[in-house]
Copies of this chain bind each other. A is one copy, B any other.
Amino acid sequence: MRNLVHVPRIAYFGPSGTFTEMALDRFESLGALDVLGDGSSDVERISAASPPAALQLLRDRKVDGAVVPIESSVEGSVPPTMDALALGPRLQIVSEVELDIAFTVVTREGITRDRVRTIGAYPVAAAQVRRWIEDHLPDAEVVTAASNAGAAEDVASGKVDAAVSTALAGERLGLSVLADKVADFEGARTRFVLITQPRPVPKRTGVDRTSVVLQLPNEPGSLVRAITEFSTRGIDLSRIESRPTRREYGTYFFHLDCVGHIDDALVAEALQGLHRFAQVRFLGSWPAVSEHGVPPVSDDDDARWLDRLRRGED
């Protein structure tokens, strides 16, 4: 923003070496960041202490985009990301990637498995490798770290003997790898999204995801009505989640993801239907990295049928 040749600045949930930074790598290699700059692939990376902190940098216009985790196949939605998207000025999701999540257990050079007395781990990670630690390091005490990359830093600084971390973090700090692809749950994946200021919606690809946050009127049946806007049009809901509004106990935001794109006529109808009775925050339509349900049927035929009726052509 301040360079003659604009170098996009991207905030991410850091520090260096987190899975989120690995997702940023992926976005970069896919060219997903090109729209934020002049098309050259240079990107300035800004580490943020948390997903909300990354979004705050974006809202403060200190960065052009932000990369944060949004959903884990093991842990579910990432609440801080969800809440930061629901509150404050509207931001927009424009792209997604998914990473297989397996941890790398790192240690300082020369420390063998039987000498590990303490092992650092971010709580989310600890929950996903509990059984592995019981099986392989039964005597080690688990020490809480501030992030997956932070756990590696704790090894480097000597605070702990080993750490549940990422391959990237271990590599950057020159640590040894005690074990690779460590995960209690097979097939664990996390989805990360690239978020920007509101901008024109990416083109419909046919395999898209649309996300909204709803505030429903406090009336019986309003949740059914909201879901019916999708189901009656044959639109698959791929996720529904309630999150407290933090204003009044027992009041919620509803996060809904559906299959399809705002330029699918049926999805557009459903959004309009919601808009008629609820507060709708549109978080974006963007290409989904994998099929996540049946896309809504095109209603081009229906529209042509309707026009024939209007003209009396039967």
Q: Are B123 and A246 interface neighbours, CB within 8 A?
A: no
Q: Are B75 and A249 interface neighbours, CB within 8 A?
A: no
Q: Are A302 and B314 interface neighbours, CB within 8 A?
A: no
Q: Are B220 and A262 interface neighbours, CB within 8 A?
A: no
In the assembled complex, A2 has its CB within 8 A of some CB on chain B = no
Q: Which of A5-13, A18-26, A165-173, A195-203 binds B? A: A195-203
Q: A80-B127, A224-B231, A231-B224 are in contact. Are A299 and B276 (CB under 8 A)?
A: yes
Q: How far is the CA of A276 from the CA of B301 in the complex (A)?
A: 9
In the assembled complex, A303 has its CB within 8 A of some CB on chain B = yes
Q: Are A249 and B199 interface neighbours, CB within 8 A?
A: no
Q: Are B74 and A246 interface neighbours, CB within 8 A?
A: yes
In the assembled complex, A30 has its CB within 8 A of some CB on chain B = no
Q: Are A227 and B227 interface neighbours, CB within 8 A?
A: yes
The total of chain A residues at the interface (CB under 8 A) is 74
Q: Are A73 and B313 interface neighbours, CB within 8 A?
A: no
Q: Which of A40-48, A109-117, A267-275 binds B? A: A267-275
Q: Are B73 and A198 interface neighbours, CB within 8 A?
A: no
In the assembled complex, A282 has its CB within 8 A of some CB on chain B = yes
Q: How far is the CA of A149 from the CA of B232 in the complex (A)?
A: 49
SS class, residues of chain A in contact with chain B: mixed
Q: How far is the CA of A71 from the CA of B227 in the complex (A)?
A: 24
A-B contact pairs, 26 of them (CB 8 A): A50-B127, A71-B244, A73-B249, A74-B244, A75-B244, A76-B79, A76-B242, A80-B127, A144-B145, A198-B314, A199-B312, A200-B312, A201-B312, A220-B236, A223-B231, A223-B240, A228-B228, A228-B232, A232-B232, A233-B273, A234-B276, A239-B242, A271-B309, A272-B302, A272-B306, A276-B299
Q: Are A76 and B243 interface neighbours, CB within 8 A?
A: yes
Minimum CB–CB distance for A50 against chain B, Å? 8
In the assembled complex, A59 has its CB within 8 A of some CB on chain B = no
Q: How far is the CA of A231 from the CA of B219 in the complex (A)?
A: 10
Minimum CB–CB distance for A257 against chain B, Å? 10
